[in-house]
């Protein structure tokens, strides 16, 4: 009686495990077919090649933190009347003076949309430059100036971004 029961349980387990393997392989094939590699576009960039990928290091004497800011070219693009332009991203790496990481955050121009009232200027613009602005106080915030430029009219807009030590945007002016 016990051996018959064990054989029945083993058969049920084998059929259950065999059917789940088939469904998981079916799902993986559909996932791989839906993710297609986008074709590269013939878009322009507003930054010189020597500025892309270059890390700017900032250290403030009042705070025990170092900030490294790197501008990179994004794979997305913004369509304008003059053609398309590649968007840019900025990676902010904050480390303690001892070398341990405080946070690492990649910012897009779209991150500013949550904190501003006018979306049109940000959607039409491209990220041109990002710099660290010293605060000269003991607050636990990092202030970064993000400069956006409209590629058609060449108008610039500066946004002051306040970030806490967790990499979260607290306020934008």
pLDDT in tens, 2-49: 777 777 787 766 676 665 444 444 444 444 444 443 444 678 888 887
Ramachandran area for residue 18 (φ above 0: left; ψ -120 to 50: alpha; else beta): alpha
Weakest mean pLDDT among 34-38, 85-89, 169-173: 34-38
Residues 6 or more apart whose CB falls under 8 angstroms from that of 82 comprise 151, 152
Residues 6 or more apart whose CB falls under 8 angstroms from that of 81 comprise 152
Per-residue pLDDT tens over the stretch 111-122: 888 888 877 888
Query: Strand, coil or helix: what is 122?
Result: helix
Q: Above pLDDT 90, what percent of the chain?
A: 14
What pLDDT is attached to residue 32? 44
Average pLDDT of span 138-152: 86
By CB atoms closer than 10 A (0-12, 13-18, 19+), residue 70 is middle
- How far, in Å, are 55, 66, 163 from residue 139 at the CA level? 25, 15, 11
Q: Which two tokens stand for residue 167?
A: 């990499």
CA atoms of 161 and 173, how far apart (whole Å) = 7
């Amino acid at each position: 009686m016990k051996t018959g029961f064990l054989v029945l349980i083993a058969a049920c387990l084998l059929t259950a495990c065999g059917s789940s393997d088939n469904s998981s392989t079916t799902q993986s094939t559909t996932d791989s077919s839906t993710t297609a590699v986008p074709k590269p576009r013939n878009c322009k960039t507003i930054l010189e090649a020597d500025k892309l990928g270059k890390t700017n290091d900032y250290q403030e004497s009042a705070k025990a933190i170092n900030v490294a800011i790197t501008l990179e070219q994004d794979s997305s693009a913004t369509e304008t009347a003059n053609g398309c332009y590649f968007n840019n991203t900025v990676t902010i790496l904050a480390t303690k003076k001892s070398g341990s990481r405080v946070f690492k955050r990649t910012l897009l121009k779209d991150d500013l949309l949550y904190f501003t009232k006018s979306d049109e200027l940000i959607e039409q613009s491209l990220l041109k430059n990002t710099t660290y602005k010293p605060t000269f106080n003991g607050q636990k915030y990092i202030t970064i100036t993000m400069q956006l430029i409209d590629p058609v009219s060449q108008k610039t807009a500066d946004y002051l971004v306040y970030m806490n030590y967790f990499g979260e945007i607290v306020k934008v002016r």
